[in-house]
A and B are shown apart, each in its own frame.
Chain A
Amino acid sequence: DTAVSQTPKYLVTQMGNDKSIKCEQNLGHDTMYWYKQDSKKFLKIMFSYNNKELIINETVPNRFSPKSPDKAHLNLHINSLELGDSAVYFCASSQDFGTGGYEQYFGPGTRLTVT
């Protein structure tokens, strides 16, 4: 039974398009995250979100927006895609940080290619 799942696994699209990546976790965790991993394997946090707080990495362009319909889902919307957005995007979840949420569980990743 998959703990953190993402769809789609691969996404190829053209510059200027708008796309979404979906993430679901069945672990009952309170906090979810989006990460971007570039071609050099550097994993950079984009957002962390729970029902109390959205923390945005200030370097993330506002073309990226997280949307959470409920505690188990955190989707990533990207507007006006650019070539530099090509990367692997990982969703993750953990318990609420205040209760020792040091352990993150990662999804399998979505490989986004912008042409």
Chain B
Amino acid sequence: QKEVEQDPGPLSVPEGAIVSLNCTYSNSAFQYFMWYRQYSRKGPELLMYTYSSGNKEDGRFTAQVDKSSKYISLFIRDSQPSDSATYLCAMSARQFYFGTGTSLTVIP
């Protein structure tokens, strides 16, 4: 079983839609939970991070962590074409583990 599971998509939504991206994990030692965005032919860039359980909001982005279910989510409100990218979840105890990424396309 992989440490982190993420549905690769692809996911295609109309502009303005709410997007929900999810990951599950198996290692209960994970404490830091992150979401990265990767545009084509670029390196990943950190979008949001959360320590332990709870919610965190930053503009149109909300990250949720449910440690009891070993489940994390990223919500994007009012999605824009510029949000079209691959979204990678990541988590760490001492080492970092990434999901496989979900490819998102927001159609104008």
Contact = CB atoms under 8 A, between A and B. Distances in A.
Contact of B98 (A43, A105, A109): A43
Contacts of B92: 97, 102
A86 to B, nearest CB: 15
A47 B105 CA distance: 32
Given A102-B32, A102-B34, A90 B95 contact: no
B49 A43 contact: no
Contacts of B41: 109
A6 to B, nearest CB: 9
Interface of B: 8, 32, 34, 38, 41-46, 49, 51, 86, 88, 92, 94-98, 100-101, 103
Given A41-B86, A90-B43, A103 B98 contact: no
A107 B43 contact: yes
Given A41-B86, A106-B43, 14 more contacts: A33-B96, A41-B8, A41-B38, A41-B88, A41-B101, A42-B100, A43-B98, A48-B95, A92-B43, A97-B92, A102-B34, A102-B51, A103-B49, A109-B43
A27 interface: no
B95 A55 contact: yes
B84 to A, nearest CB: 14
A104 B44 CA distance: 9
10 contacts: A40-B8, A41-B38, A55-B95, A92-B43, A102-B49, A105-B46, A107-B43, A108-B42, A109-B41, A109-B42
